[in-house]
Structure 1
Amino acid sequence: MSLHARKIDEVPEETARVARAAFPKGSLAMRIRDELGELFLDADFAGLYPNRGKPAWAPGRLALVSVMQFAEGLSDRRAADAVRGRLDWKYLLGLELADPGFDHSVLTEFRDRLIAGDAGMQLLDRVLEVAVERGLLKAGGRARTDSTIVLSAARQINGLVRLGETLRAALNTVAAHEPEWLAGWVPSEWFDRYAIRFEDTRLPKGKVKQTELIEQIGADGLRLLAALHGPDAAPSLRLLPQVQTLRQMWVQQYFVDDGQVRRRDLKDRPPGAERLVTPYDTDARGSVKRGTFWDGYKVHLTETCEPDSPNLITHVATTDSTVQDVRLVGPVHAHLAKCDLLPDRHLVDAGYATAREVVTARQNHNVNLVGPILASTSWQAKDGGFSQAEFAIDWENRQVTCPNGATSSRWAEDRSQEGAAVVRARFPTAACRPCSAREQCTRSNSKWDMGRRITLRPQAEYEVIQQARAQEETQEWKEQYAHRAGVEGTISQGVRAFGLRRCRYHGLAKARLQHQLTATAMNFHRLNAWWTDTPRARTRVSRLAALRPTGRCAS
């Protein structure tokens, strides 16, 4: 396929006449065309196509079809049917009424090109760019971010089934590529053991029997890997993705002890960020959040939240499920800065708001990152002792003074276990030993070292923590932060109306593109609601909460 960029044309006259007759009040697709014009140009996708070959269907139109497909929750086949048969889609795409459209497989190929060129975010950015030109979006103001879990498209399986399915998947892949070689090598009992899904078989009940089966699967997997590396097997077989997955899974799960295959203890297996959870989606990872366990990914949505303009999603990011929220703050701000859409205030929850990120956002982007800073976890803060906040810090003279007037004897810059810069201050034993309030300050029992030790963040971060914890108690801060709650409605809309929480495809790259298309589709609907003066949904209030007297708050 090669790209032959077409000229920008108006909607054909006959198509416009019939579509307006059929939709006198308009539709989502028609308003997108009327308000935003020809949104995507073929030239924008020139880098995704070679210079020679059969002319491809216009990528600008395919981009619109891909977004509308997610806007209406259509499969590839139904989206292709909509291009052929729906008047409002022909109006959106600027097609003649008799245009036959394309085969549905073209959409799969186009998505593959978007993934290969990392061009999915380009669609969302283009919509935002046009919204800025139309005065519907501008930099500054408020923005808010939140994340939600995303389930892998692969079925969730337990440890025993996971091992059996990994070997079964490798056998099926080898059978598809070299059936004659496998038929001549495979042991006869393997047909009964690996012919059908493991969850469809009668698995042993007892722990001893299950351990025996796990070790049997491990021995069989090593036997297959050895055969694939033998002189009789084609070298290409050992490079098959499912065979590589088998090898990786076996390294993570098994070891050989005196010739016997054993399963590794949980503490000897790789951490969750590296551990495979299914052979059918090797990018998915297992995670847990507030008692919810899932295998898959996380998606982060950032949107504007101003009363005089539509709330538009300005950034979407997809990671594996083990990535902490705080690691997304920097990339979000960097992307918004590139698009000239940085907010003045960025409202986030405690997972994103750390002292380091607050300081970095101010210094690098002049953004006020607003979110609750986690309270101190020291025993002094919990038990009413002398917490770190009660010590006076003299940064210029590199000295700490305790509530009883003693001063530190040592000040050293160091690194924490995570590699973050810290300051470690220590008080002399001579000052702490005779102190009447020592039990409120330190629990050290060594007669040689009874002085209080304090670990401080760098000055800028320390001051941010103290300031933030004081502000969180004020009514002004609570009213400002209350606007963050609206992003929960965005997550709910994405989950309920657009399938945000369940992957359509396997792999992180495809999940990322799915969410980029979903975010763009959600913006289509939000723009349409703005143009049609559709009021925003209000927060639901239970009948009991509605009876609360004015001015009284829940305790």
Structure 2
Amino acid sequence: MTKAMRAALEELARRAPHELVALVKEEWGKRYGRAARLGKNPSKPKTRIKETGEDVRLLLRYVHRYLSALRDGEQVQALRQIFVQNYALDAQDRPKWREPEDAGLPPSALALAIVSPYDSSARYVRRGETRWEGFLAHVTETCDQGTPSVITDVTTTKESVHDTKALPGILTNLHDRNLLSKEYFVDGGYLSVALKQQVAREHGAGQVGPIRARSTRQSRKGTVFPREAFAIDWDKKTVTCPQGTVTSRWASPPSLAPYITASFTVADCRDCPVKTSCTRTDARTVAFMPRDLHDIQSESRTEQRTQEWLSRYSLRAAIESTISEFVNGHGIRQCRYRSHSKAHVQHVLTAIAVNLERIDVHLPTAPNRQPRAPTALQNFLDWQRIPRPRSWRVATHPTG
């Protein structure tokens, strides 16, 4: 918020500095006269939040009432939106900081929360323990043995685009440039069973990556009766539990992901001796994918436990060094331009630079340049011991 306030004041000072004479006082000069560097543990955070909210409220009212011609400024509009998404007005018309549990705070996942007054398209990004404000760069490179790894595609997306949603676009880009491969080693975030089937059907390519295990109470606690312990009869549309009880209900409820649910009745589970280890509800319900996706899921999970699969998948580790090269060698996390499209240009140019560096390492060493032989006149001057200018390009003969 402090950064947004300073950006708006900078814009107003450029467009109409005389209009700020009666508004900007010494306190504002101390708070916004230079770039904010609050750090992780700023001093007096509640006081800063209160003072900044009151300052923003005053500035926005002033612009709305007296500077109508400047309302459309990019930084002024950004300040207004950031203020609305972070502050609410209480009964006394005073700004109050919105807490996560308060209504009206736009979540970053919905691509609504503005995080930078200089680029309204940038969003808050989080991957694991790494957090930043901006965009995501998805990098694809070759991993053939004995050849330099060449980056074949860089796709820039916003934070709200999940990795699995970005992969089809990446493959389409590669297809358009005739760079599709037969196999792709991907991170688990880019892989799902349905996407694996889709990529094989549409592009004829295979995906090598970990299919995540289902996280349930049974699997986390290591108790009996995980989903894999139930036998599925696809033809009869029944499921049998390890105690030999057969389900009586088989349904495909509407959902974003294709799933089948098989439910046991309360009578089936009421007198079961291991019910407490199986379910906390009155009756157990087992959910699983349709047959074609279920087979892919089972085969993938069985395969990824083998040593052969682990050895093959180790090729993907090279992409981590590429990401490190992008970040530490070329500073890709420092966006040099504003807007999504210009950030993508930076990512592409960085990938080109990395490719040139890698290819240069594998090029044969250029032969040493041989100096030119002295000309007839130069030989004459040397013979007569007449001084002449020396050049590193010309071979010289001893004069003695």
TM-score (norm 2): 0.81
CA distance in 1: counterparts of 2:32 and 2:298, whole angstroms: 62
SS in 2 for 1:229: helix
Correspondence for 2:113: 275
**Which residue identity is paired with 2:52?**
I
Change (3 A) 1:256 1:408: same
- Within the alignment, does 1:211 sit opposite 2:46 as a pair? yes
Which residue matches 1:352? 190
Range 251-260 or range 291-300, more displaced: 291-300
SS in 2 for 1:411: strand
Residues 452-481 of structure 1: CA distance to partner in whole angstroms, max 9, x if unpaired? 111222333322221111001212212221
Give the number of aligned pairs.
Answer: 358
Residue 326 of structure 1 pairs with residue 175 of structure 2 = no
Q: Counterpart amino acid of 1:463?
A: D
1:403 maps to which residue? 242
Q: Of 480, 496, 520, which residue of structure 1 is paired with 2:312?
A: 480
Partner of 1:261: 95
The 5 Å alignment of 1:425-440 reads 425-440=262-277
- Residue 2 of structure 2 contacts residue 32 of structure 2 at CA under 8 Å; is this kept in 1? no
Verify the 8 A CA contact 1:283 1:508 in the aligned structure 2: yes
485 and 195 in structure 1: CA distance in 2 versus 1, 3 angstrom threshold? closer
The 2-side partners of 1:263 and 1:495 are apart by: 34
Q: Secondary structure in 1 aligned to 2:108?
A: coil
Q: Which amino acid aligns with 2:258?
A: A
Aligned counterpart for 1:247 among listed residues 80, 84, 100: 80
Going from structure 1 to structure 2, the CA distance change for 1:376 and 1:234 (only over 3 Å counts) comes to: closer
Asked if the contact 1:284–1:295 (Cα under 8 Å) also holds between the matched residues in 2, the reply is yes
User: Which letter does structure 2 place at the counterpart of 1:174?
Assistant: L
What runs of 5+ residues in structure 2 fail to find an aligned partner?
Answer: 367-400
- Aligned pair 1:300/2:138, yes or no? yes
Asked if structure 2 preserves the Cα contact closer than 8 Å seen for 1:394 and 1:400, the reply is yes
CA separation in 1, counterparts of 2:308 and 2:37? 58
- Greater CA drift, 523-532 or 170-179: 523-532
Which of 337, 351, 355 lines up with 1:519 in the alignment? 351
Match of 1:363 among 201, 207, 223: 201
Distance of 2:180 and 2:42 partners within structure 1: 57
Counterpart for residue 528 of structure 1:
360
Describe how 1:169-180 pairs up with structure 2 within 5 A.
169-180=7-18
Aligned to 1:223: 58
Question: SS at 2:89's partner residue?
Answer: strand
Deviation at 1:371, TM superposition (A): 0.3
SS of 2:141's equivalent?
Answer: strand
Q: CA deviation at 1:388?
A: 1.0
| Aligned equivalents of 2:37, 2:319: Cα separation in 1 | 41
Q: Who is 1:317 aligned against?
A: 155
Give the CA deviation at 1:255.
0.9
Tell me: CA distance 1:226–1:199, structure 2 relative to 1, closer, same or farther (3 Å).
closer
Structure 1 position 460 matched with structure 2 position 299: no
Distance 1:226 1:287 in 2: 32
What amino acid does structure 1 have at the position aligned with 2:299?
Q
Return the offset for 1:437. 3.0
Q: Say if 1:228 and 1:514 are closer, same or farther in 2 by CA, change over 3 A.
A: same
- TM-score normalised to the size of structure 1? 0.59
Deviates more, 1:253-262 or 1:191-200: 191-200
Task: For residues 295-350 of structure 1, give each alpha carbon's deviation from its aligned partner in whole angstroms, at most 9, with x where no partner exists.
Answer: 33332110111125442211111234454322222111111122222111110121
- Inter-partner Cα distance in structure 2 for 1:532 and 1:212: 63
Which secondary structure does the structure 2 equivalent of 1:266 belong to? coil
Question: Gaps spanning 5+ residues in structure 1: where?
Answer: 1-162, 445-449, 535-555
Off by >6 Å, runs of 4+ in structure 1: none
Alpha-carbon distance in structure 1 between the residues aligned to 2:46 and 2:311: 57
Q: Distance in 2 between matches of 1:191 and 1:480?
A: 60
Give me the whole-angstrom Cα distance separating, in 2, the residues matched to 1:529 and 1:218: 55
* Mapped pair 1:340 → 2:173: no
Residues of 2 paired with 1:458 and 1:490: CA distance?
Answer: 38
- In our comparison, the structure showing a higher alpha carbon Rg is 2
Contact 1:286 1:322 in 2 (8 A): no
Percent identical: 35
How far apart in 2 are the matches of 1:374 and 1:424? 20
After superposition, give the CA deviation of every residue in 1:193-235 in whole Å (9 maximum; x if it has no partner). 545126479x9944xxx434423322332232233233x4243
Whole-angstrom CA distance in 2 between matches of 1:191 and 1:473: 61
Q: Is the 8 A contact 1:389 1:466 kept in 2?
A: no
Residue 499 of structure 1 and its aligned partner are, at CA, apart by: 2.8
* CA-CA distance at 1:272 after TM superposition: 2.3
Listed one character per residue, the Cα deviations across residues 257-279 of structure 1 (whole Å, up to 9, x for unaligned) are 11222111123322124323332
SS of the aligned residue for 1:267 comes to coil
Q: Distance in 2 between matches of 1:354 and 1:533?
A: 45
Give the direction of change, closer, same or farther, for the CA distance of 1:204–1:377 in structure 2 (3 Å limit): closer
- 1:361–1:250 Cα change, 3 Å: same
Aligned to 2:219: 381
With over 3 angstroms needed to count, the CA separation of the structure-2 counterparts of 1:365 and 1:172, relative to structure 1, is same
Quote how far apart the aligned CAs of 1:244 are: 1.0
CA contact (8 A) 2:2 2:36 kept: no
